[in-house]
Amino acid sequence: MPAINWKGIDSNTIPGLLISELPPITKPKMRTSVTEIDGKDGDIIEELGYDAYDKKIKIGLTRNFIIDEIISYFNGSGDLIMSNEPDKVYKASIIDDVDYERLVRFKTATVKFHVQPFKYQNNEKPITLEINEEENIKVNNVGLETSKPTLILYGTGIVDIYVNGLEIFKINIDEEYVTIDSENEEAYKENFLKNSNMTGEFPKLNPGENTISWSGNLTKIEIYPKSRWL
């Protein structure tokens, strides 16, 4: 039977809620800019990134439903896992109204989840290395798209980070550790931004195995690969 996990809560635990139909697996649309030039055959297409899109889930009611619990369940933003893709996580939000009057009267309704274009590996484990003599670490992006990882670097002073042999960025670790968040393009320690301590680019990981290496006084590194698919 179809089911979802929304914000860490399994739909099967909600009294009287039935997931009657899940959406098909689809690929997001690429945003493009099309330019036509007089005297030139065809046109020029510039790719501008992928659109967020909607996934519609049909729900129903069984006996002993508690409508207030169902209303509370379908709310806000968070991680969405569907039983037809149990190994993938979508970043989703519910921004449209749900017709609960129809749900109560006819025992059927549709919930629209607004999802971001990339889906991520479910329960992906971070890689942690206490650094002694090692000078590199292998990181596997199991997805089919370039990922934007999070690195937590422990040490002091200037540290240079390389990905697959290329220097990507340099960071001055002035307070025990620093977090490098490639997805949001932020360097920080807790609530304090450290972008001014960093020069270079935020790292990305190719699909498959990648090598991360460094120079400088690095004592520990944690890597969240953020493997992803379209």
Annotated domain spans of the chain: 4-119, 127-229
**Residue 133 clears pLDDT 70, i.e. is over it:** no
**The listed CATH number (3.40.50.300, 3.40.190.10, 2.40.30.200, 1.10.3720.10) that belongs to domain 4-119:** 2.40.30.200
Tokens of 154: 């422990």
Tell me: pLDDT of 41 over 90: no
132 has a pLDDT exceeding 80: no
Mean pLDDT, range 133-144, rounded to an integer: 88
pLDDT, residue 32, reads: 80
pLDDT-based confidence at residue 126 (cuts at 50, 70, 90): very high
CA 111, 116, 122, 126 torsion: positive or negative? Answer: negative
**Backbone phi, psi, residue 180, to 5°:** -110, 105
pLDDT of residue 188: 95
Q: Considering only 35-44, 89-98, 151-160, which range has the smallest mean pLDDT?
A: 35-44
Q: What is the pLDDT of residues 191-215, one digit of tens each?
A: 899 999 999 999 999 999 999 999 9
165's CB contacts (< 8 A; 6+ apart) are 211, 213
Which of these ranges, 23-32, 106-115, 173-182, has the smallest mean pLDDT? 23-32
| 149 pLDDT higher than 80 | yes
Say how far apart CA 150 and CA 199 lie, in whole Å.
16
Inter-residue contact 58 to 99 (CB < 8 Å): no
212: left (phi over 0), alpha (psi -120 to 50) or beta: beta
Q: Say how far apart CA 115 and CA 183 lie, in whole Å.
A: 16
pLDDT beyond 80 at 135: no
Which tokens in the block code for residue 152? 């937590």
Chosen CATH of 127-229 out of 2.60.120.860, 1.10.286.10, 3.40.50.620, 3.30.420.40 = 2.60.120.860
Q: What is the pLDDT of residue 34?
A: 82
